[in-house]
Amino acid sequence: MIIRQLSVFLENRAGRLTELTGILADNDINISAFSIADTTDFGILRVITGKPELAEKVLKERGFAVKITDVIGIVMRNKPGALHHALQILTDNGISIEYMYAFASGDDRATAVIRTDSPKKAIEVLQLHKMELLKTGDVYQI
């Protein structure tokens, strides 16, 4: 249930992101989902991929500051109120979100990737409410 997300430190420098995507492409690593948090000086790239360990290894070899972060993915119907329902469960159980991003897939479903301080507890309460969670194996299919 815990998804291993790749986090990469990126300077705000022209072409830097392209270098990174080039390395991933060369190593046949597919990006299933990603987001970038940006500040004036730097950005943090967050990537969901089927091969996080390989990605970490090849990027480190090329001098990137990389870290694997545990996140969870909530799979929902792509319809009004679905995200709200999921977030309400977390809020009611005192779980706060550090950051999140979401993506929709073609089959009327959407996934929200969530980083929280207590991923285990989040999984517990979401499962209690019969929410569908993204499994590591699913990442390959996204």
Partner 1 sequence: MIWNEYHECMDRQRLTELQGERLRDMVERIYFNVPFYRNKLQEMGIEPGDIRSVEDLKKLPFTTKQDLRDNYPFGLFAVPQHDVVRLHASSGTTGKSTVVGYTHNDILMWSEVVARSLTMAGVTRDDIIQVAYGYGLFTGGLGLHYGAEKIGASVIPISGGNTKKQLQLLEDFGSTAIACTPSYAAYLGEAIAEEKLDRSKIKLKAGIFGAEPWTEEMRTQIQQLLGLKAYDIYGLSEVIGPGVSMECGFQHGMHVFEDHFIPEIIDPETCEVLPYGTLGELVFTTVTKEAMPLLRYRTRDLTRLHVETCECGRTLVRMEKCVGRSDDMLIIRGVNVFPSQVESVLLEMSETKPHYLLVVDRENNLDTLEIQVEVEEQFFSDEVKELEGLRKRISGNLTSLLGLHASVRLVEPGTIERSMGKAQRVVDKRKLK
Query: Where does this chain bind partner 1 (CB under 8 A)?
Result: 5, 7, 9-11, 37, 39, 41-42, 44, 46, 60, 63-67, 69, 98-99, 115
Tokens linked to 78: 């792509």
- The DSSP H or E segment spanning 120 is helix 119-128
Nearer to partner 1, 3 or 76 (CB): 3
Question: Could you tell me the smallest distance in angstroms from the CB atom of residue 16 to partner 1?
Answer: 8
Question: Could you tell me the smallest distance in angstroms from the CB atom of residue 63 to partner 1?
Answer: 4
Task: Sort 30 into a burial class: Cβ within 10 Å, 0-12 / 13-18 / 19+.
Answer: middle
Nearer to partner 1, 71 or 76 (CB): 71
Coil, strand or helix at 35: strand
Question: Could you tell me the smallest distance in angstroms from the CB atom of residue 84 to partner 1?
Answer: 24
Separation between Cα atoms, residue 20 and residue 23, nearest integer Å: 5
**Cα 18 → chain centroid:** 19
Nearer to partner 1, 40 or 141 (CB): 40
Q: Are 76 and 86 in contact (CB under 8 A)?
A: yes
Question: Could you tell me the smallest distance in angstroms from the CB atom of residue 65 to partner 1?
Answer: 4
Nearer to partner 1, 47 or 76 (CB): 47
